[in-house]
Chains A and B, each alone.
Chain A
């Protein structure tokens, strides 16, 4: 990047981002600090906080077997969602970027994929109910064709339904950055690889995947952080049978146990930050998106 524009003050950059910072400090930094502080306080049992310093909230959290179980459950959903959304997202993006030759058509199909993203997540989640339910379309169809004698119970209000709802909502977060990376790949590179005798699979493995690494990383950050920070899909789609990390501290909030909830929130934020940093290590996101 060259910066040779005339009469640009040294501070104009700061001036221009100041509104952004003025929103992020009170509504991101301070809330995180408040949650951190609250995690060391005691609850008076009526929603109030007692000014003291205690590690009891963390002690309770880390010694509870429930915590580990909740994290395992949440990580399981995050991993499954990540896997399926990556596979589907990668190949949908690949199809749009390399197989659709008409560019206008490619943009149209791309928009077709993105439109639901701009509609309500909750509505998209509950829209699986008429399909997956005991008397839903899938079960009815399977029974009518004689493939099964009894409705499949695992389709709705189960871990299966949770993963379906997540993949349905989040695959777009994989498609967009991966498609973006793929669109930037010089087509001559692929031609060269093919002409040099590389097999189709090896072109994918040795050329396309490495060049879309940043898109994959960006998509993974979105998908993993959303699943791990979510509770309402698990709550509704599992039928209440499965808990999640965020769901558990939402219940704590419900009974006004703010310090316990705060400790749990801090732990989750630490785990998430570690995951995101791990992903960021493999790719310079800023250079990728702000180039």
Chain B
């Protein structure tokens, strides 16, 4: 390029270049992206594959046979611990956390749209709870229950300890959802004489429904996999991540991988169902937007 080229000509040349091909940075960054995704999924895929070995199977490649031996082993052997029971507890706890997270985050999301006395304090309380070391809070919660003479259990102390980190997360996601909500719709409902509840139930909730599902997804998966805060608060009965944790320390057979495969299948099912529901709602809306459709 010459120094004499006018800015307009330069801009035009660049615009043309943009239209024709992609800059080298595109290929470099695409390479990085592919590397990242492969590194993200590759190891996980390895353990899913390895969990299908037969009885001779070990912790590394090559594959030794093909069977469901380690899955059966997982649910029938006593030495691997109470997998079935911990599964059950983790799912129940996650459902409980999800319900509470969606409701509480939604309410907090509504509140934080405008300033109220003490809002900054609540905000920093939330950030503090989010970044505080999980094990410290877990120990504190355990000691608190101890001091009050209440037995720790997964549905009391562990539930609260999990909420102390999952709720702030849910509220942050809710902030993002609320920032895309156009207040005009709410104002219109007011002007048309809707009551406060009607405005919330008939206007706000349906509009931000996909966002609420996303908050629920965070609630479920974060609870289902939570470890640090649950460790000291779950009491005598383990949740699934605690079970996996004790297995990583004692079990050196592919049944550990089998457990990883099973729990990941559940996570994927939840993620898939949530994302599919969100997509479905968006699609219906797109159709409703066309002439003749219903909003």
Chain A interface (Cβ < 8 Å from any Cβ of B)? 1, 3, 5-8, 10-17, 19-21, 23-24, 26-35, 38, 88, 91-92, 94-96, 99, 109, 111-113, 115-124, 126-131, 133, 135-137, 140, 168, 171, 180, 194-197, 200, 221-222, 225, 228-232, 236, 246, 249-250, 253, 258, 261-262, 265, 268-269, 272-273, 276, 285-286, 289-291
Contact = CB atoms under 8 A, between A and B. Distances in A.
Contacts of A117: 221
Contacts of A290: 112, 123, 175, 179
A30 B267 CA distance: 32
- Chain A at the B interface: SS class: helix
B39 A229 contact: no
A276 B128 CA distance: 9
25 contacts: A12-B116, A13-B116, A16-B108, A19-B104, A27-B160, A27-B163, A28-B132, A34-B143, A35-B143, A91-B29, A99-B26, A118-B217, A120-B224, A123-B264, A126-B47, A126-B248, A127-B44, A131-B46, A133-B59, A135-B60, A196-B7, A200-B25, A261-B139, A286-B120, A290-B112
B167 interface: yes
B164 A6 contact: no
Contact of B127 (A33, A94, A124, A285): A285
A130 B61 CA distance: 7
A27 B137 contact: yes
B175 A269 contact: no
Contacts of A276: 127, 131
Nearest to B249: A236
Given A118-B217, A120-B241, 18 more contacts: A20-B122, A27-B129, A31-B140, A35-B136, A35-B140, A92-B29, A99-B26, A118-B267, A119-B225, A119-B264, A124-B44, A126-B256, A127-B47, A129-B47, A130-B43, A131-B46, A221-B131, A289-B176
A36 to B, nearest CB: 9
B228 A168 contact: no
Contact of A28 (B115, B125, B135, B224): B125
A14 B128 CA distance: 19
A118 B46 CA distance: 18
A232 B245 contact: yes
B139 A265 contact: yes
Which of B30, B147, B168, B228 is most buried by chain A, counting CB atoms within 10 A of its CB? B228
B91 interface: no
Contact of A195 (B11, B110, B248, B264): B11
A88 B32 contact: yes
A16 B110 contact: yes
A227 B80 CA distance: 29
A291 B179 contact: yes
B37 interface: yes
A263 to B, nearest CB: 11
A168 B43 contact: yes
A113 B133 contact: no
B211 interface: no
Contacts of B41: 116
A268 B133 contact: yes
A168 B160 contact: no
Nearest to A88: B36
A217 B163 CA distance: 24
Contacts of A229: 131-136, 228
Contact of A95 (B33, B47, B168, B257): B33
A7 B139 CA distance: 44
Which of B43, B112, B122, B172 is most buried by chain A, counting CB atoms within 10 A of its CB? B43
A134 to B, nearest CB: 8
Contact of A194 (B14, B110, B176): B14
